[in-house]
Amino acid sequence: DIQMTQSPSSLSASIGDRVTITCRTGQTIGNSLNWYHQRPGRAPKLLISVASNLQSGVPSRFSGSGSGTEFGLTVSNLQPEDFGTYYCQHSHSFGQGTKVEI
Amino acid sequence: EVQLVESGGGLVQPGGSLRLSCAASGFTFSSYWIHWVRHEPRKGLVWVARITNDEGNTAYADSVRGRFTISRDNAKNTVYLQMNSLGLEDTAAYYCARDGGFGTPFDLWGPGTQVIVSS
């Protein structure tokens, strides 16, 4: 399995802030990278597929970028419902998660 | 409603067994691969197993291979995860998720079922 490394592991931000999470992979994967959001006790939710494709119903303040081995997830104008943990994923591998505290 | 719903979790002693079920509704179940992913308290999301839609080809994480078995019944729109020789490290919330196969994302998840392995 491919090594997936997210940074930071956690962050604290305020409402209205812009935050960026990075995911680095151990080998090049093209744009085959997905992002999920999980709140405590809830199922993960797909936010972005193939690096930058925003899923239907996901607010436009979420955006994804990158290719190869380095990817980013940006949340602009952070809202209270955005707290939780964000995971990157490729095939059977997940990053270790980035916990966002408001 | 398009959904996946897991069941079968619970408290089990080390060395014991459980069978989880994942019931699908609202979509063409036989068109999708189904995965089991667990949320481990200190590791986050960890992929466990998957089964393809047609011939039912299976794959497992190294940590569960030989102990867990994934299967599906397309007539019942259900996927199962038979878990044997459970250890403390298997304690987690277990989710089933679907994808369209061949690297597509997990676009639908169930609410999860909790498995606690403890003496």
- pLDDT attached to residue A76: 95
How far is it, in rounded angstroms, from Cα B101 to Cα B83? 24
- pLDDT attached to residue B55: 74
| Contact between chains at A87 and B112 (C-beta distance less than 8 A) | no
- Minimal CA separation from B39 to chain A, in Å: 9
| Phi, psi for residue B90 in degrees, rounded to 5 | -90, -5
- pLDDT attached to residue B101: 82
Residue among A2, A32, A34, A86 with most chain B CBs within 10 A, to mutate: A34
Rg of the Cα atoms in chain A? 12
Structure confidence by residue, pLDDT tens digits, B65-113 = 999 999 999 999 999 999 999 999 999 999 999 998 887 999 999 999 9
Are B109 and A45 contacting, i.e. CB atoms less than 8 angstroms apart?
A: yes
Structure confidence by residue, pLDDT tens digits, A61-87 = 999 999 999 999 999 999 999 999 999
- pLDDT attached to residue B54: 79
Q: Degrees (nearest 5) of the Cα angle A18, A20, A21?
A: 150
Q: Which two tokens stand for residue A26?
A: 């151990």
Structure confidence by residue, pLDDT tens digits, B43-63 = 999 999 999 987 789 999 999
How far is it, in rounded angstroms, from Cα B103 to Cα A1? 13
Structure confidence by residue, pLDDT tens digits, A11-68 = 999 999 999 999 999 999 999 999 999 999 999 999 999 999 999 999 999 999 999 9
**Residue B118 has what DSSP assignment?**
-
Three-state SS at B88: helix
Are B110 and B6 contacting, i.e. CB atoms less than 8 angstroms apart?
A: yes
Residues of A in contact with B112 (CB under 8 A): 43
- Nearest chain A residue to B96 by CA: give it: A43
How far is it, in rounded angstroms, from Cα A75 to Cα A37? 11
